């Protein structure tokens, strides 16, 4: 339902998302499939609306983190293939098969469980094999002395009953990082991945239908890694170091408004702890936006938000439900004036850097009490409030 208050809200700019898709699709070429990563509610952008748009645009695959996320898409008319990148308990295999969901297989134990459950269900589970080439997280370990045992383990999984192996993939750890060491590490990961594929296919006597490894950094920097399908995350939503150079646009704008304005004399402590004290007569605006909405408290006294008169610095500690900005030299900003937290006028990349994090953490942190407004062709086509009312 729609929010009853024009308090703080996010605008999901579907035209920007479509623009980003087309730019990236042109970059990778017509022969490479496009997987849209929509886990974590499409990184706070709204998985259902984002997936509907990607499906309309011709996207080939979607990726989520869990079965719940996958089923949410299926029951909302998303028919694209969906890959679960994370863990699914073995007793949910029947639902994977029922909803035609592809599952990542990361080790022998998972392969055995999924195979046994699929046979019990009398169905076939489509899987993608995950290879750990240096992320040191999930996947068959194949580096160094583990190469032969890793290849044999993958081959064993492929041949298990009840499993249909469609693809194989890995994940780069530092493809988005600068420097020769990171370049060498990514190149090592890619060579190891392709060596594993070659060894498995020679023993298997068949080829994988989909080989994929190119995440955001690789799509921007390593075209040789595109293979059969790419998985751009940050780029799709128009954030990160590569977005500007590729001509991408941010897909979310977070906005609030001024609820109260008060003028304080010099020497006035602002907010909890008194970490900021006015050094002159100061006009302070109170915004209904705080850490319960997703505004990191670590940004207290460290960032600016955008007004019609330009950037306004955050003063004092960020509170649960509100924060304060300095409007001393902002004569056109009044009660009710719109303020952009991040978007096209106030870069989320800069805000994330000040917080010591990545843009994704800020978009994912936008809480359920912040309504989403989906905008296409200049009009709000749908609004979403995650609160139960």
- The answer to whether 183 is a known catalytic residue is no
Q: How are strands ordered across the β-sheet holding 379-384? A: 260-264, 282-287, 323-326, 310-315, 304-307, 338-342, 252-257, 8-13, 372-376, 379-384
Find out whether 171 and 213 touch, Cβ atoms under 8 Å: yes
C-alpha separations of 244 from 20, 219, 337, 347, 352 in Å: 11, 14, 29, 11, 16
- The two tokens of residue 103 are 């599952």
Q: Which of 22, 120, 191, 272 is catalytic?
A: 272
Cβ pair 178, 146 in contact under 8 A: no
Q: 94-101 contacts: CB < 8 A, separation 24 or more?
A: 94/121, 94/123, 95/67, 95/71, 96/67, 96/125, 97/121, 97/123, 97/124, 97/125, 99/70, 99/71, 99/74, 100/74, 100/126, 101/67, 101/70, 101/71, 101/74, 101/126
33, 39, 110, 130: which one is catalytic? Answer: 39
Task: State how far the Cα of 54 lies from the Cα of 34, in Å rounded to an integer.
Answer: 10
Whole-angstrom distance, CA of residue 72 vs CA of residue 50: 13
320 labelled as ligand-binding? yes
Six token digits for residue 4: 């009853």
Assess whether 108 carries a catalytic annotation: no
CB 302 within 8 A of CB 282: no
Could you give the 3-state DSSP secondary structure of residue 241? coil
- Which tokens is 279 given? 């050094």
Q: Cite the annotated binding site for substrate by residue number.
A: 137, 320
Residues that are catalytic = 39, 272
Q: Cite the annotated binding site by residue number.
A: 137, 320
């Amino acid at each position: 339902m729609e929010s009853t208050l024009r308090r703080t809200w996010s605008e999901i700019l579907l035209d920007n998302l479509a623009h980003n898709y087309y730019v990236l699709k042109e970059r990778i070429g017509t022969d490479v499939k496009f997987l849209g990563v929509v886990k974590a509610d499409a990184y706070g952008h709204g998985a259902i609306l984002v997936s509907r748009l990607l499906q309309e645009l011709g996207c080939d695959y979607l990726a989520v983190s869990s079965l719940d996320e996958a089923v949410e898409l299926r029951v909302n008319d998303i028919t694209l293939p969906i890959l679960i990148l994370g863990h699914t308990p073995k007793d949910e295999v029947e639902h994977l098969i029922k909803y035609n969901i592809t599952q990542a297989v990361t080790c022998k134990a998972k392969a055995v469980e999924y195979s046994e459950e699929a046979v019990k269900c009398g169905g076939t589970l489509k899987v993608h094999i995950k290879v750990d080439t240096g992320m040191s997280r999930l996947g068959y370990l194949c580096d160094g002395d583990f190469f032969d045992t890793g290849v044999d383990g993958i081959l064993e999984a492929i041949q298990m009953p009840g499993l249909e192996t469609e693809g194989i993939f890995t994940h780069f750890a530092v493809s988005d990082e600068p420097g020769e060491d990171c370049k060498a590490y990514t190149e090592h990961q890619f060579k190891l991945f392709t060596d594993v594929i070659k060894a498995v296919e020679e023993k298997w006597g068949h080829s994988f239908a989909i080989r994929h490894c190119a995440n955001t950094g690789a799509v921007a920097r390593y075209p040789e890694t595109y293979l059969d399908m790419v998985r751009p995350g940050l780029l799709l939503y128009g954030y990160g170091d590569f977005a500007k150079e590729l001509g991408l646009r941010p897909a979310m704008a977070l906005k609030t408004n001024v609820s109260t304005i008060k003028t304080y004399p010099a020497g006035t402590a602002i907010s909890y702890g008194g970490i900021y004290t006015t050094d002159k007569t100061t006009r302070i605006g109170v915004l209904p936006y705080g850490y319960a909405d997703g505004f990191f408290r670590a940004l207290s006294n460290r960032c600016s938000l955008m007004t019609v008169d330009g950037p306004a610095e955050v003063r004092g500690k960020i509170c649960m439900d509100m924060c304060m900005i300095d409007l001393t030299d902002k004569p056109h900003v009044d009660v009710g004036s719109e303020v952009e937290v991040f978007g096209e006028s106030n870069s989320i990349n800069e805000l994330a850097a000040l917080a010591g994090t990545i843009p994704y953490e800020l978009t994912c942190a936008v809480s359920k009490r912040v309504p989403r407004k989906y905008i296409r062709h200049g009009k709000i086509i749908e609004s979403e409030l995650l609160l139960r009312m």
